[in-house]
């Protein structure tokens, strides 16, 4: 079994080196005397557990804890305190630490605590993988029969098989709409599973961003009409072509637009596409007049299976995967995403995608307008 990687963060050399000597026979041990060094190391080495002194000059231990949990929520953390202060320990525990150790160290207690923290991490990782595998398998099994259902309902709605009464048409439209919602959910589960497995590669082709948008919004024509939502699409007259992975961009836009439609009971959705002024990016904006998101909860909506209303009686359906998949795919293609929102006023999403893939080297122009 591979040895776990442990990072010891402490500005005092004595405690730092003592912990290193205690842990070195059993684990791969890395050290940092400043919070900034620790954050840099986290991006270079797959760290399993961090011990961190909360009282450090420069970047304090609380900020190190916050950042490491943002970077990888699965990393375990143990607080080191030499002040005998319960307040600092409690503060660390609130930030997601496993436990705390007071200086001077009891060797057996330190080893026991770290072993239990790593066991919790491994158990959580196995449960996450089990859940991911289950969702992927179920989704694959549902995909084919659901596609058949949608195909047949579409044939019936087109009245190719026979004429429909108005009542029959309304029933089939409801079946079609709900089937499409389920298909969207299944697609996002499969995208997320592939992202978690690192199984996605980037394709490279030339495509027009405006055409992607116009094609993607077609299937929302009926629901936009039912809600009385006015859709405004503002594109450059000569179009914007990029070199990149069109399937990833399609999924990102669909998830963002789907959210805008879902969380806008009435009003307007505006889509704007333009060349970014300061960067080699194309900016795609989606502005809605929907329910909005409280500022302090914006980051939380990017977490998988998270919604603002998670109660069983929640008003909006879904698993809360759309924004998670959209952001991770945006990172994968080298883009950026920013959300600005106010409850009761609406949401403004700014998606920036590169003109061209960085690996594209044969000299073909990646931008036309």
Q: What is the pLDDT confidence band of residue 314, given thresholds at 50, 70 and 90?
A: very low
Among the residue ranges 55-59, 76-80, 216-220, 229-233, the one predicted with the least confidence is 55-59
Q: Are residues 229 and 299 in the same domain?
A: yes
Is pLDDT of 84 > 60?
A: no
121, part of any domain: no
Give the span between the Cα atoms of 310 and 162, in whole angstroms: 43
Is pLDDT of 16 > 80?
A: yes
State which residues form the domain around 283.
Answer: 205-354
End residue of a domain, out of 197, 214, 233: 197
Assign residue 308 the CATH number of its domain: 3.30.565.10
The gap between the terminal CA atoms of the chain, to the nearest Å, is 56
330, part of any domain: yes
Q: In sequence order, what are the residues at sequence separation of 6 or more whose Cβ sits closer than 8 angstroms to the Cβ of residue 40?
A: none
Find out whether 288 and 264 touch, Cβ atoms under 8 Å: yes
Q: Tell me what the mean pLDDT of segment 90-97 comes to.
A: 69
114, part of any domain: no
Q: Tell me what the mean pLDDT of segment 132-142 comes to.
A: 73
329, part of any domain: yes
Q: Are residues 170 and 209 in the same domain?
A: no
- Comparing CA positions, the residue from 344, 309, 310, 318 lying closest to residue 181 is 318
Q: How far is CA 182 from the centre of its chain?
A: 20
Q: Tell me what the mean pLDDT of segment 266-284 comes to.
A: 88
Give the span between the Cα atoms of 119 and 130, in whole angstroms: 16
DSSP 300: G
Domains contained in the chain, number: 3
Higher pLDDT: 90 or 289? It is 289
116, part of any domain: no
End residue of a domain, out of 87, 105, 123: 105
End residue of a domain, out of 197, 230, 249: 197
Q: What is the pLDDT confidence band of residue 319, given thresholds at 50, 70 and 90?
A: low
Q: Which of 21-35, 100-114, 129-143, 302-316 has the highest mean pLDDT?
A: 21-35
Among the residue ranges 20-24, 138-142, 201-205, the one predicted with the least confidence is 138-142
Is pLDDT of 362 > 50?
A: no
Higher pLDDT: 147 or 292? It is 292
Is pLDDT of 265 > 90?
A: yes
* The model's pTM: 0.62
Q: Are residues 276 and 343 in the same domain?
A: yes
156, part of any domain: yes
Name the percent of the chain lying above pLDDT 70: 87
pLDDT in tens, 149-158: 888 888 888 8
Q: Are residues 270 and 158 in the same domain?
A: no
Q: Are residues 183 and 214 in the same domain?
A: no
pLDDT in tens, 202-246: 888 999 999 999 999 998 988 899 899 999 999 988 888 888 899
Q: What is the pLDDT confidence band of residue 27, given thresholds at 50, 70 and 90?
A: very high
Name the percent of the chain lying above pLDDT 90: 31
CA-based max dimension of the chain: 84
Per-residue model confidence (pLDDT) at position 364: 36
Counting beta carbons within 10 angstroms of the beta carbon of residue 155, is it exposed (0 to 12), middle (13 to 18) or buried (19 or more)? exposed
Q: How far is CA 239 from the centre of its chain?
A: 29
Q: Are residues 231 and 323 in the same domain?
A: yes
């Amino acid at each position: 079994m591979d040895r776990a990687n442990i990072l010891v963060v402490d500005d005092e050399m004595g405690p730092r080196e003592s912990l290193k000597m205690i842990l070195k026979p059993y684990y791969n041990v890395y050290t940092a005397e400043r919070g900034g060094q620790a954050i840099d190391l986290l991006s270079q080495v797959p760290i399993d557990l961090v011990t961190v002194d909360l009282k450090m000059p420069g970047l304090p231990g609380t900020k190190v804890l916050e950042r490491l949990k943002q970077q990888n929520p699965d990393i375990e953390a143990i607080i080191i305190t030499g002040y005998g202060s319960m307040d600092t320990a409690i503060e660390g525990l609130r930030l997601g630490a496993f436990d705390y150790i007071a200086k001077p160290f009891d060797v057996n207690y330190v080893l026991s605590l770290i072993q239990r923290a790593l066991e919790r991490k491994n158990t959580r990782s196995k449960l996450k993988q089990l859940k991911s595998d289950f969702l992927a398998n179920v989704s694959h099994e549902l995909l084919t029969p659901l596609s058949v259902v949608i195909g047949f309902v579409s044939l019936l709605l087109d009245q190719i098989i026979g004429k429909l009464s108005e009542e029959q048409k309304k029933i089939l439209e409801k079946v079609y709409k709900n089937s499409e919602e389920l298909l969207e959910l299944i697609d996002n589960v499969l995208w997320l599973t592939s992202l978690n497995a690192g199984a996605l590669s980037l394709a490279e082709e030339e495509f027009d961003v405006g055409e992607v948008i116009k094609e993607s919004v077609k299937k929302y024509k009926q629901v936009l009409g039912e809600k009385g939502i006015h859709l405004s699409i503002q594109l450059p007259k000569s179009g914007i072509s990029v070199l990149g992975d069109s399937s990833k961009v399609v999924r990102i836009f669909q998830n963002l637009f789907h959210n805008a439609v879902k969380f806008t009971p009435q009003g307007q959705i505006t889509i704007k596409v333009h060349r970014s002024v300061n960067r080699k990016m194309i900016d795609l904006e989606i502005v809605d007049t929907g329910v909005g998101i409280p500022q302090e909860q914006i980051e939380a909506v990017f977490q998988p299976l998270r919604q603002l209303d998670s109660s069983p009686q929640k008003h909006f359906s879904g698993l809360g995967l759309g924004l998670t998949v959209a952001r991770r795919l945006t990172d994968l293609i080298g883009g950026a995403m920013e959300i600005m929102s106010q409850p009761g006023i609406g949401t403004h999403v700014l998606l920036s995608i590169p003109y061209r893939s960085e690996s594209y080297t044969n000299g073909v122009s990646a931008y036309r307008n």
